[in-house]
Chain A
Amino acid sequence: MLENLRKCLETKIATQANLVQLRGQKRTIITCMVKNGVIEEFSNVALGGVGARVLVDNKSWGFSSTSMVDASNLEKTLVNAVKLAKSSSKLKKQQIRLASAKTVKADITLNAKKPLQNFSADDIAEIPLDACKGAREVGQRIAEAKATYISIADDKYFLSTEGAEIHQNITRVVLYVDIIAKGNNTICPASESLGHAGGLELFDKTSPYALGKTTAEKAARLLNAKAPPSGKFRVVVHPTLCATLLHEAIGHPLEADLAMSGGGFGNQIGKFVSSKLVTIYDDGRVEGGLGYFPYDDEGVECKHTVLIENGVLRSFMHDRTSAALSSVSPTGNAHAWDYSVEPLIRQTNIGIEAGDYAEEELIEDVKEGLFLEGTFGGQADVNADFTFGFQSAKRINHGKLTEELRGANVAGNAIEVFKTIDAVGKDAVLRPGACGKFQFAIQGRVVPAIRCEIMVGGMGE
């Protein structure tokens, strides 16, 4: 593939563009989904192709992708990209400037402790089977136990007419456990996940069996729990839920493309936008983070970017275009899900710096509130208005955790919610995450527990 990509950059058509970026990729995804002890889906997905992105007349982008990667088809794809870019060039009012980035030549392979290629299909199947086994041992009330193993092996090239030539070879592994408990005339779901960039050493600390079992125990327990109340509460947000809150409601408005479209954090650099206890960063180099990317899909090095420092807005996440508009350096946040789509500004591993509160200390100052745990995902808009689900809650009464309650949704405006943070937990944990901003992405989150005020939409009293 590398030779064909190099040749493509040397074709005559490449000279018609201000910039050509070629991304070649081979991706192998193995999925093994076990439901109630039966392997229901075992798949090998082999995908490959090249995406050509071009800038013409310094104001118009074009992009074209193909799965046929021979030299002649690559050239045709590039011709298409140039034609597409020119099609709207005349309509464009504004020039596109790109922030300069170091021209990188790099060859990176992630060395996993337990590389995927050392394991057979039988070994792989054992992973979700074990998780299911752990779940089913909880008993009759587990109506459905589903465990899904996924590995993604990416072999990626980035070449540009600026001279970049980057090869990245990275594997990722995730395990999802989804439980549905039934009884007491009701149905109750619970889910958990593990995931990282690396190999099967993912399961050295937490076994699939243990993950299955604890998740199923929770779902079974919640069958007897009451619904949470509704209204505004003082809450302690467990890292599992804090991860979603951070990513969806604070992370997205800190993405420069969304920030520049108005609302949220726009035009507030240097101003207090959050509680002084809050420092937020994005870091593509967090070891083991599911969002581990040494270089982004514009060839820019990923690094540790402080976004909010002690409550003050310091930076957005940028690609080369938004960085130029803001007269700053790009932050390595241009990522594409695969070769067939264009890079967008995405989070890598977004994190909150740990504070100094132990979990008990977070709880003991709350007179009447809720401890919210687990996530069912959610959504937020550029104004940081969010809605998302938590899996369970515990009532806090005079500084003590009391009865366990079922899940519901929380909603509000995250910027307002983050201003109410009055304590940050001391243990930041690495969580796997995913995002669907126009295209899919897998990402990491590094999050402690936080204490704040939030609106809960429960059905109970």
Chain B
Amino acid sequence: MSLDEKWMMLGDYVRKTIRKLERKGITHAEAFFTSTRTTEVAIRNSEILTQNRADDDGVGFRVVIEKNKVGFACTNELSEKAVLEAGEKALAIAKVSSEVPNFALPAEGTTSKVNGLFDVEVAEVNVEDVVDIAKRAIDAAEEYDKRVIAKDGRVVFMAGWRGVVNTLGVDCEERETRTALYLAGGGEHDGEVTSSCSDYTFKRTPNLNPENLGENVAKKVISMFNPKPITSFQGTVIFGPEAVSYQLCDVLVDALKGENVIAGRSAWTRRIGEMVASENLTITDSATLEGGFASRSFDDEGAPSQNTVAIREGKLESFLHNATTANALKTKNTGNASRFPGGLDMVRMIVGNGYKAKPEVYPSNLVIQPGNKSKETLLAEIDKGVLIEYMGGFAQAGSGLISAQLSQAFYIQNGEIQHPIKGGMVSGVAFDWFKQICGIGNDSKQFVNSFVPSLMVGNVKIIGA
């Protein structure tokens, strides 16, 4: 059965179930459903390890009864009976659940199509072509320098449908493709093994440019040869796009999420209109970015996508919301309901994403407006500091505390990189760092939920090994 045929079938069962639920005295019902086909090739130690294909179809129902009691149930069994049973289980669970204050679902709205989300070549890809991309990435890395080994990697081609139906008139669906290439390399030099250095590309098209990525990984590995420890100091730090995306954005997201604001857990609660960052920082949530990896024409509750300015020139303008959090704060829904949020939530890791879970608030593409300086120009401005391309560990939710390992970092003196750093940590509060931003790069890079450049931050504490 083709993906499109399965999608038609699933949609039919889902809509029938919603109509049946409507006759059972409920307040609202909602279905979120997807059909996907994923082809993936894994790389391990210079070889193709395995190739795999997963077909997955499923639906998750939220059923709301009087007093906003909500139940959730899902199934991945593609039969009329199983889909109806899931809807009925959600209703049964709602009956033993408790009142969710301010619960809301979006009503019917006008969505406009976002371009560049689907590419027929990705949808119809042959596994041989995916294998070829993996092979080219390995070769590019290892041919660039014989000391480099492609240790680990993935090439993913996904095509799928996503749909939302609710009893308030929302009925929308969208077709999309995604591709991703990840490669991690390592190398041995003078008997010392580098820690693993990786690079990623996230796209909607088959053009993953594996040669370029492989070469980048090799360059990163070589740049880590002959690392030296440093002593502790306060100095200027350039956080490369990956370090920004991985830890600094996590702190931003935590402070911007509507549910955290309601709980008083966001560091920026009740601070709309105030300066929370340096005036050169502007951050938007851009769900309509053409071809963006997390772009979409409607969010995972069916609310139309939009562009939301969260921080304009350092001033906090808006939080991010789904229907419920917007309702609780009596503000406009920003279309940030996500069933594919990042982060390290244990329940979500056990249960899974998509139709298997209810939506949370999460950015689509969190975009930090780039500056006009290259990384080299930023570097030249530093007397004594560190360039951090990747830092291990993670930020502490709420407080913004980061104490991260300098996994891939370089010591800078007199405007030039001196050597890679062995051991050591960077420590501080990310909310302070946002205020200390003194330069922004023009090197924006797309990650799963962000599109961010390098950030230069003054007066950061570096701990030597």
Q: Are A121 and B92 in contact (CB under 8 A)?
A: yes
Q: Are B344 and A189 in contact (CB under 8 A)?
A: no
Within 8 A of A (CB), among B58-98: 58, 70-78, 82, 86, 89-90, 92-94, 96-98
Q: Taking the complex as formed, is B188 at the interface, i.e. its CB lies under 8 A from any CB of chain A? A: yes
Q: Taking the complex as formed, is B149 at the interface, i.e. its CB lies under 8 A from any CB of chain A? A: yes
Q: Taking the complex as formed, is B100 at the interface, i.e. its CB lies under 8 A from any CB of chain A? A: yes
Q: Identify which of A40-48, A291-299, A311-319 touches chain B.
A: A40-48
Contacts of A383 in B (CB 8 A): 193, 195-196
Contacts of B438 in A (CB 8 A): none
Q: Are A434 and B356 in contact (CB under 8 A)?
A: no
Within 8 A of B (CB), among A5-60: 29, 31, 33, 37-49, 60
Q: Are A187 and B399 in contact (CB under 8 A)?
A: yes
Q: Taking the complex as formed, is A260 at the interface, i.e. its CB lies under 8 A from any CB of chain B? A: yes
Among candidates B49, B263, B401, residue contacting A143 with C-beta atoms closer than 8 Å: B263
Residue of B nearest to A47 (CB): B76
**A side interface size, CB within 8 A:** 87
**B side interface size, CB within 8 A:** 85
Q: Are B151 and A262 in contact (CB under 8 A)?
A: yes
Q: Taking the complex as formed, is B403 at the interface, i.e. its CB lies under 8 A from any CB of chain A? A: yes
Contact mask for chain B residues 311-354; partner A; CB cutoff 8 A; 1 contact, 0 none: 00000000000000000000000000000000010110111100
Contacts of A67 in B (CB 8 A): 55-58, 76-78
Q: Identify which of B39-47, B169-177, B291-299, B413-421 touches chain A.
A: B39-47
Q: Taking the complex as formed, is B164 at the interface, i.e. its CB lies under 8 A from any CB of chain A? A: no
A330 CA / B109 CA spacing, docked (Å): 57
A65 CA / B39 CA spacing, docked (Å): 11
Q: Please classify the interface of chain B as helix (H, G, I), strand (E, B), loop, or mixed, using the class held by over half of its residues.
A: mixed
Q: Which of A29, A42, A49 is the most central at the interface, judged by chain B CB atoms within 10 Å of its CB?
A: A42
Residue of B nearest to A456 (CB): B403
Among candidates A31, A44, A80, A152, residue contacting B53 with C-beta atoms closer than 8 Å: A80
A266 CA / B344 CA spacing, docked (Å): 30
**How far apart are B234's CB and chain A's nearest CB, in angstroms?**
13
Contacts of B404 in A (CB 8 A): 387, 409, 457
Q: Taking the complex as formed, is A148 at the interface, i.e. its CB lies under 8 A from any CB of chain B? A: yes
A388 CA / B350 CA spacing, docked (Å): 21
Q: Once A and B bind, how many residue pairs between them come within 8 Å at the CB atom?
A: 251
Q: Are B403 and A409 in contact (CB under 8 A)?
A: yes
Residue of B nearest to A148 (CB): B347
Among candidates A31, A37, A66, residue contacting B351 with C-beta atoms closer than 8 Å: A31
A413 CA / B227 CA spacing, docked (Å): 15
A122 CA / B97 CA spacing, docked (Å): 9
Q: Taking the complex as formed, is B427 at the interface, i.e. its CB lies under 8 A from any CB of chain A? A: yes
**How far apart are B281's CB and chain A's nearest CB, in angstroms?**
22
Q: Taking the complex as formed, is A342 at the interface, i.e. its CB lies under 8 A from any CB of chain B? A: yes
Q: Are B186 and A261 in contact (CB under 8 A)?
A: yes
Contacts of A409 in B (CB 8 A): 393, 403-405, 425, 427
**How far apart are B232's CB and chain A's nearest CB, in angstroms?**
8
Contact mask for chain A residues 261-295; partner B; CB cutoff 8 A; 1 contact, 0 none: 11100000000000000000000000000000000
Residue of A nearest to B152 (CB): A261
Contacts A187-B267, A261-B186: A458 and B403 contacting too (C-beta < 8 A)?
yes
Contacts A38-B98, A262-B151: A385 and B392 contacting too (C-beta < 8 A)?
yes
Contacts of A385 in B (CB 8 A): 195, 392, 405, 407
Contacts of A44 in B (CB 8 A): 72-74, 86, 89-90, 93
Q: Taking the complex as formed, is B428 at the interface, i.e. its CB lies under 8 A from any CB of chain A? A: yes
A178 CA / B7 CA spacing, docked (Å): 38
Q: Taking the complex as formed, is B101 at the interface, i.e. its CB lies under 8 A from any CB of chain A? A: yes
**How far apart are B442's CB and chain A's nearest CB, in angstroms?**
30
Q: Are A411 and B425 in contact (CB under 8 A)?
A: yes
Contact mask for chain B residues 398-436; partner A; CB cutoff 8 A; 1 contact, 0 none: 110101110100000000000000010101110000000
Contacts of A65 in B (CB 8 A): 52-56
Q: Are A457 and B427 in contact (CB under 8 A)?
A: yes
Contacts of B51 in A (CB 8 A): 61-63, 84-85, 87-88
Contacts of B380 in A (CB 8 A): none
Contacts of A64 in B (CB 8 A): 52-55
Q: Identify which of A89-97, A206-214, A351-359 touches chain B.
A: A89-97
Binding site for B on A (CB under 8 A): 29, 31, 33, 37-49, 60-68, 80-81, 83-85, 87-88, 91-94, 121-122, 125, 143-144, 148, 150, 152, 176, 180, 182, 186-189, 230-231, 257, 260-263, 340-342, 376-379, 381-383, 385-389, 407-409, 411-413, 434, 436, 440, 442, 455, 457-459
**Sample of 12 more A-B contacts, CB < 8 Å, known A46-B73, A84-B53:** A44-B72, A67-B55, A83-B127, A87-B127, A88-B131, A261-B44, A341-B54, A378-B393, A385-B392, A389-B396, A409-B403, A455-B463
Query: 10 A-B contacts, Cβ less than 8 Å apart?
Result: A44-B74, A44-B89, A45-B352, A48-B77, A63-B50, A230-B427, A378-B393, A383-B193, A434-B346, A434-B350
Binding site for A on B (CB under 8 A): 41, 44-45, 47-58, 70-78, 82, 86, 89-90, 92-94, 96-101, 126-128, 131, 135, 149, 151-152, 186, 188, 193, 195-196, 232, 263-265, 267, 344, 346-347, 349-352, 356-358, 392-394, 396-399, 401, 403-405, 407, 423, 425, 427-429, 461, 463, 465
